[in-house]
Homo-oligomer: A and B are copies of this chain.
């Protein structure tokens, strides 16, 4: 269940099966994190502007430094596994929230707010669901100084909170489709190593819960929502994803089937679950007694078909991991709180007050022009910092475009610009900034996506020879292989691809951890050519079954 934690839920069989592997990975990660955390959490290192390690040399430490120093999060030292989302992160979440909210509203999804606490009774109605979530529940047992008669749990997801009311509210087929969504916080008290954005004990998300008359109608919505999730990644965050269906092993606890968008982190070659849209089938509607009279047959009752779907703040972490570089964060323009920063140049000891005022006046005119053009722009007029220091500061924070403006530019009626993503530089005539800057921002947005898309495409290898699998993983690829879809075979594939502990010690002096086995990421909707039904074998050399589908596997979060 390594990658399910901050998405819609732990997969069905995940808890038992991934334990061993997760433990090993966690031990290693803990070690690395401990080392990494030391320099960045002390006041001294906070003062070091810029990232102290290279993204390619030590990816985990690089990530921790970036999220902290770019002020996306802070660690909540009071309670481990919790993080503070700072304004630049909340801005990204706000853009996503507004974008998604507009689109589900247009679909007819209404907003609701259910209590954050769950009673034991409701929770225990769906068995697989309980098995999936029980180990991570936070229990409130006391209020003030009194013990509660019946302890209550903080929601890890709201199926069991909401569905008793769906039973009450849905009376006739005319109430269908019935669609509610809530934006809230959930708690999953994980024992495993936590990571900012990707795996936190509390996170923000939206959870949609809908009911439909037929499987077909439910299924249609599952895909509509999945497409919105894909667009959040692709259009807002400039992150490519693969759309597909989860295997039985990896589907939502208690659900019927799970669809997913899967991302890829080039730095370590790992897959990462992006967001999931589940068809719950009639499992929950039977347990919670949610039914309507069949419109075609009086007296006959039909249990409704339900969906649930969720997108969490995890998306921000994926975006950071993919676009960031050794200078820090790189934000796609569409989700950047500040898209362009204006920095005055050439102010020296010899500059007169009048010259300085003139330069700042023209800078302010440029700022106003850009604001009117819809650009989110700020001027950095801080005293006591040199332009290079300011450049570093805004690069660290990921601002997509820097505009510099000094006396020479002023004389030529131009501004100089520098792209955060490529470092490319150039000039625009001042008269043209209102059109050129928005164009350039769109170019940056597209280029970021294209670069990430190319990296993903080139590292998603279609493999038909088992011996090539582990070398492909070691070369930071995910693989697409012919697969029988059997759950035990899937488990065995994980074991077969896990490495033995290597000899020697790692950079921190700890024994080297074994490499992680690969798990199934999804069965891509876009299936490659070449799988002959009833003929092509499952790639697992120990398996005698025929392959049903091409399935994407990889080491993963």
Contacts and interface: CB of A to CB of B under 8 A. Distances in A.
B184 A115 contact: no
Interface stretch (A74-82, A248-256, A274-282): A74-82
B117 A79 contact: yes
B79 A115 contact: yes
A21 to B, nearest CB: 20
B202 A117 contact: yes
Interface stretch (A87-95, A387-395, A442-450): A87-95
A112 B84 contact: yes
Contact of A139 (B135, B143, B189): B143
Contacts of A382: 174
A79 B140 CA distance: 12
A435 interface: no
Given A78-B115, A137-B144, 7 more contacts: A78-B121, A78-B164, A84-B114, A85-B114, A90-B111, A113-B185, A174-B382
Interface of A: 74, 76-79, 82-87, 90-91, 93-94, 110-119, 121-122, 134-145, 151-152, 154, 161, 164-165, 168-169, 174, 180, 184-185, 187, 189, 191, 202, 204, 382
Contacts of A93: 113
Given A113-B204, A204-B113, A119 B79 contact: yes
How many subunits of this chain does the assembly comprise?
2
A180 B87 contact: yes
Given A139-B140, A189-B144, A115 B83 contact: yes
A137 B144 CA distance: 5
A189 B143 contact: yes
Contacts of A185: 113, 116, 184-185
Contacts of A204: 113
Nearest to A154: B140
Nearest to A180: B87
Nearest to A182: B90
A90 B110 contact: yes
A112 B140 contact: no
Contacts of A116: 185, 187, 202
Nearest to A111: B90
Contacts of A169: 74
Given A76-B115, A84-B112, A116-B202, A139 B142 contact: yes
B74 A115 contact: no
Closest 6 CB pairs of A and B: A87-B110, A143-B189, A78-B119, A139-B142, A82-B115, A85-B113
Given A74-B165, A143-B138, A189-B144, A87 B115 contact: no
Contacts of A111: 87, 90-91, 94
Contacts of A112: 84-87, 90
A143 B137 contact: yes
